[in-house]
Amino acid sequence: MTATQPFQPALSWPGRTNEEWRRSSVDRFALVTRKPSAPAQVGTKLLPHDSAFSGRLMFVDGVLTGVDLSPELKAQGVVFGALTAAAELVKAHLTLGAAKADTLASAGHYARVEFGAVLSVPARLVAPEPFLIEITENRKDVLTTPHLVFSLAEASQASVVVRWTSPGQKFTVDSATSVELGNGANFTLSELQTQGAGAAVLDHSFASLGRDAQLFHWCAPIGGAVVKTRFDFVMAGEGSSVKTHGLYFGTEDQHKDLRISLTHAAPHATSYALYKGAVRDRSRTVFQGLIEVNPGANGTDAYLSNKNLILNDGARADSLPQLKIDTNDVKCSHGSTTGKVNEDEVYYLTTRGFSQAEARLFIAQGLFAELVDEAPAFLRDEVELLVACSIGADADLGACKDE
């Protein structure tokens, strides 16, 4: 499954002089010291079809343990399975990804890809229900390298929900997702990451959109000890649009560094990025957001917003929005706010009988409400609880898991 690498200059490990890596040391991911995992020998089980989903894939410890795909969709040419299910398509994606790798940290993924999933949707097909991919890791001290490929042909429509979980052991996941949308394709990708407290998460994902294609990306990186993600969206086709929304939290000693880039490579594309975070305890988050408008991308409409809530002194959130515009005829803006809970709002709620702690929780939850509402319907209650548990250490939340 390893890609044939075209000739490229020798890559090095990213250091502190690399802007993208300046706030997160690559050493924390133990990419060199942790051994690539050898997949356990477990067979794949065909799951009974669950009509709430177009299909389901369950990965445990690097092995595809369960598969379910709607028979109708299968008959219509939908491919949904392990990477080997569409080897040529996957190889093309991996080759492209390897060519983009700019440091050893991102190149390593392509040298090691170990398991993963592929979804290929033929032209004009509409998959009504979401595809679910669950990736669970239980092994200690391993370095796992999953890769996900989502390819939607012209005018097709699909949605995918990816869930990442682990119980709390120390390990590294070095993942990447590549999305390719044909002309007029419509894709929703929702990612809920609830890794345990020992996980080091490194992810570098990529999406390319054809003419008039639409992508809605929603992500909630909740768990993990150290998390560094990068998602590059390229609007290659005229009139394409990307909406990427994220909600993220820092608790205890978590370190999260999220980067997105939105490249307008064709005219009349629109992008809307909205990321909201909250930090407490001694945690730190970094959000880096770049809107890049290439020459000739006239009529670009781009907006990027990042809001951070600091829940206590000692927690830190950095917000680094950036615009790089090489065309005149554009509408681009970005906004960034970082601050504490508004005391006037707290006072107002306390005058209605709310305790200080509950008032603060309500207000902080309110910040994330619009993003919680956009979670896949079957995950909404869980996401709401995760938000409450991530921000409301002081409130009475018996339902939160002990960490």
Partner 1 sequence: MKTLRIEGLTAEIEGKPILTGVNLEMKTGEIHALMGPNGHGKSTLANILMGHPKYTVTGGTITLDGEDLLAMDVPARSKAGLFLAFQYPIEIPGVTVGKFLKRAAEIHMAVRGEKINVTKFIKQAREDMSFLEMDHQFINRYLNEGFSGGEKKRMEILQLLTLKPSFALFDETDSGLDIDALKVVSKGINRLRGNDFGALIITHYQRILNYVNPDHVHILYQGKIVTSGGNELVHALEEKGYDWVKEKYGV
Strand order in the sheet with 241-250: 45-46, 63-69, 55-60, 131-136, 157-165, 186-194, 214-221, 241-250, 270-279, 300-310, 330-339
Place of tokens 């990042």: 306
Instruction: From residue 196, give the alpha-carbon distance in Å to each of 54, 60, 184.
Output: 28, 15, 38
378 near partner 1, rule: CB under 8 A: no
Q: How far apart are CA 47 and CA 71, in angstroms?
A: 12
Return the number of the residue (336 or 350) whose C-beta is nearest partner 1. Answer: 350
In angstroms, the first-to-last Cα distance of the chain is 37
* Residue pair 37/59 in contact by the 8 Å Cβ criterion: no
Among 16, 331, 347, 380, binds partner 1 (CB under 8 A): 347
Region binding partner 1 by CB under 8 A among candidate stretches 92-100, 207-215, 359-367, 392-400 = 359-367
Contact flag: residue 367 with partner 1 (CB under 8 A): yes
∠ CA 203-208-214 to the nearest 5 degrees? 110
- Residue 330 as a binder of partner 1 (CB under 8 A): the answer is no
Q: CB-wise, 327 or 350, nearer to partner 1?
A: 350
Residue 385 to residue 402: CA distance in whole angstroms = 13
356 forms part of the interface with partner 1 (CB under 8 A): yes
Exactly one of 366, 380, 397, 403 binds partner 1 (CB under 8 A); that residue is 366
Q: Is 87 helix (H, G, I), strand (E, B) or coil?
A: helix
Q: Restricting to residues 166-185, which ones interact with partner 1 according to CB under 8 A? A: none
Closer to partner 1 by CB, 12 or 355: give it: 355
If the CB atoms of residues 318 and 358 are measured against partner 1, the closer one turns out to be: 358
* Minimum gap (Å) between residue 369 Cβ and partner 1: 4
By beta-carbon proximity to partner 1, the closer residue of 130 and 392 is: 392
Indicate which single residue of 7, 10, 46, 352 sits in contact with partner 1 (rule: CB under 8 A): 352
Closer by beta carbon to partner 1, 41 or else 351: 351
Using CB under 8 A as the binding rule, whether residue 365 contacts partner 1 is answered as yes
Q: Report in angstroms how near the CB of residue 336 gets to partner 1 at its nearest.
A: 17
The answer to whether residue 399 forms part of the interface with partner 1 (CB under 8 A) is no
Q: Distance (Å, rounded) from C-alpha 282 to C-alpha 297?
A: 42
Biggest CA pair distance of the chain: 67
Residue 368 touching partner 1 (CB under 8 A): yes
Residues that bind partner 1 (CB under 8 A): 343-345, 347-356, 358, 362-363, 365-370
